[in-house]
Every structure is written in C-alpha cells, then in structure tokens.
Amino acid sequence: MTNHFFKNHGSFSIKKLLEFSDIDTQKNFSDIKITDIKDLVTAEKNNITFFHSKKYEAVAAKTKAAFCITTNNLSHVLPKSCEAITVDNVLIATAKITKIFYPDAVTDNFDDSVKDINETTFKDNVKFGKNILIGLNVQIGKSCSIGHNSIIECNVIIGDNCSIGSNVIIRNTIIKNNVSILDGCVIGKKGFGFFPNNKKNIRYPHIGIVIIEDNCEIGCGSTIDRGSLSNTIIGKNTFLDNQVHIAHNNVIGDNCIIAGQVGFAGSSTLGNNVMIGGQVGISGHLKIGNNVQIAGGSGVIKDIPNNSKVMGYPAINLRNFIKDNK
C-alpha cells in the first residue's frame, strides 16, 4: 500500500523500534533499518509486518518483510527471509509500532486548516452551495459540485464530474470520476479500531485511506471508514443505498448493489456483481465471491463462494433456507 497522506517518521533500527514500543522479546536483533510498517501482502524488504491469524497463513508464507510481529504458534509459517518477533498480543504490539511511524494518524480531530471555499481557487471552477469549507492538500477536478454545509477536510482528491451532497464530511480519500456522494455521508474518518482495557482503551492508528472508483454512488447517511494498514476500496460502478456502513480495510468489488442499512465489519472482501438486500450484516475477515446474492436481513459469518444465493442467520443456501422454513 502506498501511503498518500500520512507522514512516515521512520526509518528506525529494529532495536530502537522495539525499545520505543516497549516490546521485550528477550532476543538480540541486528541494527537493520526498518523503513515502514505494512500488511503481509504489500510489505517489502526493510519493512515490518504482522501476522495474527491462521486465516492469513498463505500470504504470510510469501511475505517479503524483513520482520514480522507474530506469536510462537504462527512463527513457523514465515519464510526464512522474514525474522519473527514473537509477542503475547500481536495487535497491541502492531498498534504501538504503527504509532511510532505514523503518530499523526491516531486521532481525528476536526481539521483546523479549512478555509471558506470563497477564499480558495476552487471558487472559480466548482459549483457550490453555502458554508463550504476546504482543507489543505485537496484537489478537485472539472465539473464538480458541492452542496450546502459540506466540509472537504485535508487529504482529499476528487476527480471530474463528481457531485458531493450537503452536510458531507470527507478526508483521507481518493474519489475517481463520475462519483455521487449523497447528503450526510462521512468518508475517510478512522475506523472502530482499539483494544479494550480496564483502565484505558488503546487506539491504533489508521494509516490507510478510502478509494472510491469511477461511476459509484454513495447513499445518504452512509459511512466509509479509512483503512488501518490497508485501504478501504469501493469498486467501479458500485452503488450503496442509504445508511450503509463500510468499516476499515473492506474491499468492495465492481458493479455491486448494496441496499440500505447493510453493515460490514472490518477486512472483508466482496467480489464483483454482488447484490445485497437491506439490513444484512457481514462479519469481519470474510471472502464473498463474485455474482453472489444475499437476501435482506441475513447474517453472514462464513465465506461465500462464487455464484451463490444465500439467506438467513447464519446465511445458508437460499433453496435450503426456503425448504427449512416452509
């Protein structure tokens, strides 16, 4: 993943990185420089990554990272070129190290860099309503419009022929061409990522972004969270109905139709040409195949193969559901 918007404060030697994050592995590591933290797939030489679940064994075995935060039980999966840093809690250790590289990504305070659009160069080429605020590092293409009381906060790229509705907040997002964001959406804020603690919950930085591909429509009141280490992606020609929630790291395919009040937990992948009825819940870390249809009100807690039709909780084959509920 290329980090478009958050400043990387590295590099750090692996010794200093572990020292700064209070990770005691009781092992002497070399002074090799670590330039970034990335997920298992995008990690490169001189990067550090993390591996916390057997669901990711296949990609962990091929990671190119120099170091990987993991557990004793999973460390054998890693390639010889990747040295394991074994800890008791992988996600907490990952959060601490990510915060060292990207300290600015932990909080999402309001953007105090914003200016009234009339004080910017956008006033000359954007059709806009009243009370529009624009932050730093914003690009807006040709033939775009922005409704009343919307805020385009820092770190946003908007393509051509895009329509942004009223009362919308966008940050840390790339929007391609011919996209409509309807009223009341919040896009690019941090996800619901933290570790419960009796004294103080520990937040981990979200250094990913949101990418919305060409010809999409995002319905009123929808929320799309930016990724933690990966990006949250909405594929081409995908339409979201009102009040849909897409949590961090989800990848939604092309030509999908998602009806109202559907909720995605984090890190699931949706194929192309998927249709989802209203009020469906999708659990985290799942893979939904191509051409899948999910009936309204269903709860998806397992992977769904290509060309399936499912319904119910837990969601099962549609024919079986109808047979069992005659």
Catalytic residues: 248
* Neighbouring C-beta atoms of residue 326, cutoff 10 Å: 4
What would the two tokens of residue 175 be?
């929007």
- Ramachandran angles phi, psi of 95, nearest 5°: -60, -40
What would the two tokens of residue 258 be?
């998602």
User: What DSSP string runs through 312-326?
Assistant: TTTTEEHHHHHHHT-
What Cα–Cα distance (Å) separates residue 16 from each residue in 26, 91, 92, 242? 14, 19, 17, 47
Radius of gyration over every alpha carbon of the chain, rounded to an integer in angstroms? 21
What Cα–Cα distance (Å) separates residue 54 from each residue in 47, 73, 210, 232, 251? 21, 10, 27, 22, 20
What Cα–Cα distance (Å) separates residue 143 from each residue in 53, 99, 119, 178? 46, 39, 19, 10
Look at residues 275, 220, 268 and name the one whose alpha carbon lies nearest to residue 246: 268
- Could you identify the residue written with the tokens 């309503």? 129
Residue-wise burial string across 185-220, b where 16 or more C-beta atoms lie within 10 A, e elsewhere: bbbbbbbebeeeeeeeebbbbbbbbbbbbbbbbbbb
CB-based contact 150:165 (threshold 8 Å): yes
Distance CA 52, CA 12 (A): 23
Look at residues 172, 173, 125, 165 and name the one whose alpha carbon lies nearest to residue 147: 165
